[in-house]
């Protein structure tokens, strides 16, 4: 397989990070041996919970989680009701990454802290105003410190995993958080692909795999297709509000007859659930209250959640065009909740595929990230293709942008498209390279321009110019233009991904989404105006050449029709412009017929006589 190595990177250790909703991990791979870094107590999982106390440095992990549970207990017991502004802890911040205020109204209602009414999401926690990016950066700093302490050297580069469904804004928010934490992101790796890499499935070369990922707070399912050792995510689905925590809540509600406050029942529910992964009966004592649960009692509590995930899996398979007759090579179980035997049994049974559970589901994603990190530094043989952050296109007539390489295309990539001249006798063509999602040139980013000269003079539309865009593995764009009859060509090298900050990319994407409807209308209007302009030009040229076929009155009448059409060129009504174009075409139809007859007569007269002897 092709090995892609990140250019211009120092030969230092690169770590893999699973930045999770509920828990996070950091790992390092050497010679295919993966080490997951721990804290001083030997714990691998870092709770993705942060404590912000006034005049104190942020605290990430178990202490923050204990404080959060204490705040929950105080709220539920009535000892102290936390207002939006005196809550000191926050968790599940991953849900807010790259989101807008409207996107997270549900989340704001769900939690006790509140969002400030600003353009960007800002949360008030512990008397501070913090963004999701800043909070995620604090989690990444803690992970980075773990690795540096264990390896006894500075860590600068990382591969960070993200859900397959993350959009560009969420991806870039993750990159910015890493930069704030002092980390350079070599790759953002999709979590399902990381899971597949952890099992070394790329060595199978071919196959279809399902990744069933249920963590504490979210559920994701991805369909992967492996072709020649390269994974491609075909379809994704999930629920960012469904996970092991929901199972805990259902169990805690069921334990109501045991007594005890809600926080104690939640804690007991989690422990009982974990015990039932290896036994049919469980018992725990929390706050002097005895709680018990059996597998028989657990099944009806959990089945509604399992059924919900099964429907999501079915939807993903449908989207990926997988039928009952298609073989699924394996179902990879990811996330702590998949340790439950009931989940594994039901999913494997319903989808008739082997359930892959050899590795600890809590650690799989971090392991895959570490292996990919090692591969990028030349240790390993797996392949990961990067993608283009924004579309690349060319300026065409009417100040419009024609997309040649769409955004999110895997690189390396090469795409070619054929263009032609706009005017008669045109001997040069300006190639204007643009980046962005909008339809008009002025709304996109100009990357470069060059001119293709010495095009043979021909009637408009006759020349064939092939424009080729090629992006190599390092993100370097080469644009070439070639005139097909003569073979003359010009080319230029551009770097479309460097020099453009993440916030600029996010801004461009946001503008494209917000103006999508208006842009489509603008493009349609310009295309109709261009069609009318070309028709007017053709009509004028025809009258100049063959006006002798018409009477003076007919010529005058047609010029009047052209004049009326020219006055309407600035009309913003697309349908009216189309009617004007059709009317002009109809007015010139008899003249066009006369010209055709003349051309046929001239052709027949010029033919050599046939010899019948």
| 215: CATH | 3.30.420.40
Tell me if 513 is assigned to some domain: no
Are both 296 and 327 inside the same structural domain? Answer: yes
Tell me if 512 is assigned to some domain: no
pLDDT value at position 610?
A: 43
Are both 237 and 349 inside the same structural domain? Answer: yes
Are both 189 and 221 inside the same structural domain? Answer: no
Tally of CA atoms within 13 A in the half-sphere of 21 that contains its CB: 22
The two structure tokens encoding residue 220: 């994701």
What's the chain's length in residues?
613
pLDDT value at position 425?
A: 82
- Give 440's DSSP letter: B
- Give 170's DSSP letter: H
Please state, in angstroms and as integers, the Cα–Cα distance from residue 491 to each residue in 296, 395, 434, 449, 452, following that order: 71, 16, 15, 10, 9
Secondary structure E strands in 495-562 = none
Q: Which residues does residue 417 pair with via DSSP β-bridges, in sequence order? A: 467
Residue 582 sits in a domain whose CATH number is 1.20.1270.10
**451 contacts: CB under 8 Å, gap ≥ 6:** 428, 429, 430, 431, 490
Tell me if 613 is assigned to some domain: no
Are both 331 and 400 inside the same structural domain? Answer: no
Are both 599 and 480 inside the same structural domain? Answer: no
Longest C-alpha distance within the chain, in Å?
121
Contact yes or no for 201/209 (Cβ under 8 A) = yes
From CA 469, how far away is CA 107, in angstroms rounded?
A: 43
Per-position b or e across 475-508, b if 16+ CB within 10 A of its CB = bbbebbbbbeeeeeebeeebebbeebebeebbeb
From CA 81, how far away is CA 200, in angstroms rounded?
A: 50
From CA 260, how far away is CA 29, in angstroms rounded?
A: 45
From CA 459, how far away is CA 528, in angstroms rounded?
A: 22
From CA 122, how far away is CA 595, in angstroms rounded?
A: 70
pLDDT value at position 12?
A: 66
Residue 460 sits in a domain whose CATH number is 2.60.34.10
The two structure tokens encoding residue 30: 């050497």
Tell me if 511 is assigned to some domain: no
pLDDT value at position 500?
A: 43
Range of the domain at 274: 203-358
From CA 304, how far away is CA 546, in angstroms rounded?
A: 79
List the catalytic residues.
Answer: 18, 94, 191, 213
From CA 476, how far away is CA 7, in angstroms rounded?
A: 11
Are both 279 and 368 inside the same structural domain? Answer: no
Tell me how many domains the chain contains: 4
Q: Which residue positions in the chain have pLDDT lower than 70? A: 1-12, 75-86, 102-120, 167-168, 378-389, 408, 410-411, 472-476, 493-517, 519, 602-613
Are both 113 and 234 inside the same structural domain? Answer: no
**81 contacts: CB under 8 Å, gap ≥ 6:** 74, 75
Are both 221 and 276 inside the same structural domain? Answer: yes
Three-state SS letters, 98-148: CCCCHHHHHHHHHCCCCEECCCCCEEEECCEEECHHHHHHHHHHHHHHHHH
* Helical axes 574-605 vs 552-567, angle rounded to 10°: 150
Tell me if 506 is assigned to some domain: no
Tell me if 412 is assigned to some domain: yes
Are both 493 and 577 inside the same structural domain? Answer: no
φ, ψ of residue 297 to 5 degrees: the values are: -75, -35
The two structure tokens encoding residue 360: 């600890």
Tell me if 278 is assigned to some domain: yes
Are both 228 and 326 inside the same structural domain? Answer: yes
Q: For 20-55, what is each residue's pLDDT tens digit?
A: 999 999 999 998 899 999 998 899 999 999 999 888
Tell me if 184 is assigned to some domain: yes
From CA 184, how far away is CA 102, in angstroms rounded?
A: 30
Contact yes or no for 252/261 (Cβ under 8 A) = no
Are both 87 and 158 inside the same structural domain? Answer: yes
Contacts 24+ apart (CB under 8 A), 357-362: 357/333, 358/199, 359/198, 359/199, 361/333, 361/334, 361/335, 361/336, 362/23, 362/25, 362/44, 362/45, 362/335, 362/336
Taking phi over 0 as left and psi of -120 to 50 as alpha, with beta for the rest, 238 belongs to left
pTM, two decimals, is 0.63
Are both 67 and 34 inside the same structural domain? Answer: yes
Residue with token string 């082997």? 354
**3-class SS of residue 241:** coil
């Amino acid at each position: 397989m092709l090995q892609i190595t990140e250019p211009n990177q120092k030969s230092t250790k690169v770590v893999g990070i699973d930045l999770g909703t509920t828990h996070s991990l950091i790992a390092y791979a050497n010679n295919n041996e993966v080490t997951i870094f721990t804290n001083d107590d030997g714990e691998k999982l870092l709770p993705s919970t942060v404590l912000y106390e006034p005049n104190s440095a942020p605290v990430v992990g178990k202490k923050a989680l204990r404080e959060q549970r204490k705040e929950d207990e105080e709220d539920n017991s009535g000892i102290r009701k936390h207002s939006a502004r005196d809550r000191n802890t926050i968790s599940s911040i991953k849900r807010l990454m790259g989101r807008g205020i409207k996107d997270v109204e549900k989340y704001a209602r769900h939690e006790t802290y509140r969002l400030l009414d600003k353009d960007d999401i800002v949360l008030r926690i512990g008397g501070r105003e913090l963004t999701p990016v800043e909070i995620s950066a604090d989690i990444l700093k803690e992970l980075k410190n773990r690795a540096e302490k264990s390896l006894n050297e500075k860590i600068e580069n990382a591969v960070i995993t993200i859900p397959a469904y993350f959009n560009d804004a969420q991806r870039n928010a993750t990159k910015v958080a890493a930069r704030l934490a002092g980390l350079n992101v070599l790759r953002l790796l999709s979590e399902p692909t990381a899971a597949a890499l952890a099992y070394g499935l790329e060595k199978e070369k071919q196959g279809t795999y399902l990744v069933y990922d249920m963590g504490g707070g979210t559920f994701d399912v991805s369909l992967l297709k492996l072709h020649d050792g390269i994974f491609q995510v075909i379809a994704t689905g999930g629920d960012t509000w469904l996970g092991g925590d929901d199972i805990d809540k259902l169990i805690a509600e069921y334990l109501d007859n045991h007594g005890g406050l809600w926080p104690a029942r939640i804690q007991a529910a989690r422990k009982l659930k974990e015990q039932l992964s290896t036994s049919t009966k469980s018992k725990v004592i929390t706050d002097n209250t005895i709680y018990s649960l059996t597998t028989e009692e657990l099944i009806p509590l959990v089945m509604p959640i399992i059924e919900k995930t099964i429907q999501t899996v079915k939807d993903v398979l449908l989207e990926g065009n997988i039928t009952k007759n298609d073989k699924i090579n394996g179902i990879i179980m990811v996330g702590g909740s998949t340790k439950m035997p009931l989940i594994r049994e039901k999913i494997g049974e319903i989808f008739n595929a082997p359930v892959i559970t050899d590795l600890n589901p809590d650690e799989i994603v971090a392991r895959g990230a570490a292996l990919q990190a090692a591969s990028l530094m030349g240790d390993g043989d797996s392949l990961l293709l990067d993608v283009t952050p924004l579309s690349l296109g060319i300026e065409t007539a009417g100040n419009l942008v024609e997309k040649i390489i769409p955004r999110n295309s895997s690189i390396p990539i090469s795409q070619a498209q054929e263009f032609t001249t706009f005017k008669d006798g045109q001997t040069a063509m300006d190639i204007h390279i643009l980046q962005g999602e909008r339809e008009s040139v002025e709304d996109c980013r100009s990357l470069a321009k060059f001119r293709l000269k010495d095009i043979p003079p021909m009637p408009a539309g006759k020349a064939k110019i092939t424009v080729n865009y090629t992006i190599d593995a390092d993100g370097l764009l080469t644009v070439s233009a070639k005139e097909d009859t003569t073979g003359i060509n010009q080319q230029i090298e551009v770097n479309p991904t460097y020099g453009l900050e993440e916030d600029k990319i996010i801004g461009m994407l946001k503008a494209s989404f917000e103006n999508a409807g208006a842009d489509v209308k603008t493009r349609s209007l310009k295309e109709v105006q261009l069609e009318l302009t070309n028709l007017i030009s053709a009509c004028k040229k025809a009258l100049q050449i063959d006006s002798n076929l018409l009477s003076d009155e007919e010529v005058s009448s047609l010029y009047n029709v052209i004049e009326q059409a020219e006055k309407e060129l600035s009309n913003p009504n697309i349908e009216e412009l189309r009617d004007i174009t059709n009317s002009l075409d109809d007015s010139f139809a008899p003249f066009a017929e006369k010209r055709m007859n003349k051309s046929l007569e001239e052709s027949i007269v010029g033919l050599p006589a046939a010899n019948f002897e």
